[in-house]
Amino acid sequence: MAASILNSPRAIEASIFVVRAFVRLRQILSENKEIAVKIAELERKLSKHDEQIIALVEAIRHLMSPKLPPKNRRIGFKKD
């Protein structure tokens, strides 16, 4: 993307480098399916932990919310 805006030899080299890096990453992942499976497992675990962390934060907020003070009630019996 930088090469299309800057139109300099350095920007062209950088764009080629980035494309080659992504191509190499794709080759590595396709060659080693085990890594791809482990990455998918990690993503699932992280999303599960995210849900648990959100629930934990909500529970803490609920506990931190101020409770209403009790109404002033008289102690003892009412006289009719």
pLDDT digits (tens, 9 = 90+) for 37-68: 777 788 888 777 788 888 888 888 787 776 76
Whether 70 is in a domain gets the answer no
Residue ranges making up the domain that contains 49? 33-65
The answer to whether residue 77 is domain-embedded is no
Same domain, 57 and 42: yes
For 11, what's the count of Cα atoms within 13 Å in the CB-facing half-sphere?
Answer: 8
Are both 38 and 59 inside the same structural domain? yes
Give the SS3 label for residue 12.
helix
Q: What is the pLDDT of residue 43?
A: 80
Full-model pTM: 0.37
Query: What is d(CA 17, CA 22) in angstroms, rounded to the nearest whole number?
Result: 9
d(CA 39, CA 30): 13
46 and 21 share one domain: no
- Cα 61 from Cα 65, distance rounded (Å): 6
Task: Answer for the pair 52, 46: CB distance below 8 angstroms, yes or no.
Answer: no
- Say if residue 6 is in the same domain as residue 24: yes
